Amino acid sequence: MESTTELSQHYQLIEQAIQYIETNVHRQPELDEIASAIGLSEYHFQRLFTRWAGISPKRFMQFLTKEHAKDLLARSENLLETTHQVGLSSLGRLHDLFVNTEAVTPGEYKSNGAGLTIHYGLHLTPFGKCLIAATERGVCHLSFVETSEGNAIDTLVADWNQAKMIEDYRTTAPLIDRIFSTPTPDIPLKLHLRGTNFQIKVWEALLHIPAGSLTTYEQIAAQIGNPNALRAVGTAVGHNPIAVLIPCHRVIRKSGEFGNYRYGPARKKALLAKEFALSGITSDLRGM
d(CA 184, CA 94): 11
Residue 256 backbone dihedrals phi, psi, to 5 degrees: 100, -5
Q: Tell me how far apart the alpha carbons of residues 63 and 43 are, in angstroms, rounded to a whole number.
A: 22
- Please choose, from the candidates 240, 52, 4, the residue with its C-alpha nearest in 3D space to the C-alpha of residue 143: 240
Catalytic residue, chosen from 248, 251, 266, 270, is 248
Whole-angstrom distance, CA of residue 169 vs CA of residue 163: 18
Question: 233 near 91, Cβ under 8 Å?
Answer: no
182 contacts: CB under 8 Å, gap ≥ 6: none
Active site residue 140: no
Give catalytic residues, as residue numbers: 248
